[in-house]
Amino acid sequence: MEQAVPLAVPLGQAEVFQALQRLHMTIFSQSVSPCGKFLAAGNNYGQIAIFSLSAALSSEAKEESKKPVVTFQAHDGPVYSMVSTDRHLLSAGDGEVKAWLWVEMLKKGCKELWCRQPPYRTSLEVPEINALLLVPKENSLILAGGDCQLHTMDLETGTFTRVLRGHTDYIHCLALRERSPEVLSGGEDGAVRLWDLRTAKEVQTIEVYKHEECSRPHNGRWIGCLATDSDWMVCGGGPALTLWHLRSSTPTTIFPMRAPQKHVTFYQDLVLTAAGNSCRVDVFTNLGYRAFSLSF
């Protein structure tokens, strides 16, 4: 689906406008549909594009298969984060979270189901929401971003139930440690903080940049990505991408990757999609080979 061109742009300049828009596009967020056949990508213009991964990965795929099934305007500002439930796509922008029904989007009926705003300290505060995290056992959603706090929302009632405070700068990423249950958060302050969801208290802090083997001062101290499994955590950003043992707060493996890490999304085990400062989503059919790119 072609992106809409503002009415102020003469028709003869439509293609030029769209080319410039794609040139300056950044894709901030991705989420795979519950059925695993579609990928949603959100950009800096507030647009969400839905791609058919099954069509793009087919042996009979054509160039048209790598274009969006539908593109729609979701937020006034950038779509900083997204996550999928069994039925919904949740997207976050500046100070708001919206819900969309997957079944309606795929029918090109892109009408928001609801919109929620966390209780910020002042009405003038509209920070970006950089990360969304589902907590299935609680049926809740955790939001974090520019106000340096974690907000928990009950998905059944839409009410905000608690606020976790501790970070001193923007929060970039969240990860769930289900067995504990604990949430990990990483941000611009260079710290990964662990929160016990039962007590709503911080239980551990790892200041990654202070460890010499991880530190990369030329890239900064910020933490841009997190993943966790039981007693282990992987995090990266300004500091090197590193595997940590959480119980001992010890870095065990430094991965030899030069550029700062932001985010990636796994799809059906061996397929990986990655996006960033362009209008493209690169698709890897194994971890060492880029097969093709999807494009807004």
Nearest to 105 by CA among 115, 117, 90: 90
pLDDT at 290: 67
Residues 77, 190: Cα–Cα separation, whole Å: 26
Model pLDDT for residues 65-89, shown as the tens digit of each residue: 999 999 999 999 999 999 999 999 9
Q: What is the DSSP string of 199-225?
A: TTEEEEEEEGGGSTTT--GGG-S-EEE
Q: What is the CATH number of the domain that holds 88?
A: 2.40.128.630
| Residue 13 scores a pLDDT above 80 | no
The residue with greater pLDDT, 270 or 253, is 253
What is the pLDDT, as a whole number, of residue 264? 43
Confidence at residue 272, expressed as pLDDT on a 0 to 100 scale? 61
Residue 276 placed within a domain:
no
Give the range of the structural domain holding residue 62, as residue numbers without chain letter: 25-117
Residue 266 predicted with pLDDT over 70: no
Interatomic CA distance for residues 279 and 189, integer angstroms: 29
pLDDT tens-digit readout, 95-136? 999 999 999 999 988 899 999 999 887 777 789 999 999 999
Instruction: Give residue 23's pLDDT.
Output: 81
- Asked, for residue 237, whether it belongs to a domain, the answer is no
In this prediction, residue 231 carries a pLDDT of 84
pLDDT for residue 8: 55
Whether 101 is covered by a domain: the verdict is yes
Tell me: pLDDT of 59 over 80.
yes
Q: Per the domain annotation, does 63 fall within a domain? A: yes
Do 66 and 52 contact (CB within 8 A), yes or no?
Answer: no
Does the structure show a pLDDT above 80 at 255?
no
What local confidence, expressed as pLDDT, does residue 211 receive?
Answer: 94
* Band of pLDDT at residue 261, cut at 50, 70 and 90: low
What is residue 262's predicted lDDT score, i.e. its pLDDT?
60
> How many domains does the chain divide into?
1
Average pLDDT over residues 246-268: 71
Report pTM. 0.82
Task: Mean pLDDT check: name the lowest of 5-9, 153-157, 200-204.
Answer: 5-9
The gap between the terminal CA atoms of the chain, to the nearest Å, is: 9
In whole numbers, what is the pLDDT of the chain averaged over residues? 86
69 is a domain residue: yes
pLDDT of residue 228: 83
Q: d(Cα 132, Cα 97) in Å, to the nearest integer?
A: 9
**163-179 tens-digit pLDDT:** 999 999 999 999 998 77
Nearest to 25 by CA among 276, 293, 264, 289: 276
On whether residue 31 sits in a domain, the answer given is yes
pLDDT at 133: 96
Strand order from edge to edge, sheet including 81-84:
81-84, 88-92, 97-101, 114-116
Please check whether residue 64 lies inside any domain of the structure. Answer: yes
Share above pLDDT 70 across residues of the chain, in percent, rounded to a whole number? 86
pLDDT per position as a tens digit, 28-42:
888 999 998 999 999
Q: Is the confidence at residue 234, as pLDDT, over 70?
A: yes
Identity of the highest mean pLDDT range in 117-131, 146-160, 266-280: 146-160
| Residue 51 covered by a domain | yes
The predicted structure's pLDDT at residue 2: 44
Tokens for 114, please give them. 């609801």
Tell me which of 34 and 293 has the higher pLDDT.
34
